[in-house]
Structure 1
Amino acid sequence: MTTFDFATETSRITSRPAVATRVANTVSNAYRAWKNRRAFYRLGEMSDSELADIGLTRADLHVAIDVPFGRDPTAMLREIASDRVETIEDIARKVA
């Protein structure tokens, strides 16, 4: 066996776990996206006052649902809610 033959065998052996890891990560990410979408749809069943309790509005749900399937709409809601809190805090500082 030459060095070249050994190097070819080694790369083939080490690439298999990397492919399996990528496939496992893809499946895991798809499952997580599906699970988060289900949780997101449960938010739509809440009343407006319940949404207000957690810092969201019904319009926020409409904005967040427009993200592509691969992205997490709950992450978009988190950004919207944190931006709203920062804006409210800034206004409160200016008033005080």
Structure 2
Amino acid sequence: MTTIDFATETSRITSRPAVATRVANALLNAYQAWKNRRAFYRLGEMSDAELADIGLTRADLHVAIDVPFGADPTVKLRAIASDRADTIENLARQVA
């Protein structure tokens, strides 16, 4: 066996786990996005008062649902709620 034969064989061996890892990660991410989207739809069943308790409005749900299907709408909701909390905190500091 020459060095070139060994190098070619080694690259094939190491690329298989990398492909398997990428496929597994893609499946895991798709499952997580599906699970989070189901939780997102449960938020739509909440009343406006319950949404306000967690820092969201019904309009926030309409904004977050516009993300592509493979994307996670809960990430967008987290950003919206975080921005709102930061804005309220900054306004409270200005008043005090």
> In 2, distance between residues paired with 1:9 and 1:33?
37
**Distance in structure 2 (CA, Å) of the matches to 1:25 and 1:75:** 18
Establish whether residue 59 from structure 1 lines up as the match of residue 65 from structure 2: no
Q: Structure 1: where are the runs of 5+ without partners? A: none
The runs of at least 4 aligned residues of structure 1 exceeding 3 Å deviation read none
RMSD: 0.6
1:23 aligned partner: 23
Cross-structure match for 2:71: 71
TM-score, scaled to structure 1: 0.97
Secondary structure class of the residue paired with 1:90? helix
Gaps of 5+ in 2: none
**Equivalences, count:** 96
**TM-score normalised over the length of structure 2:** 0.97
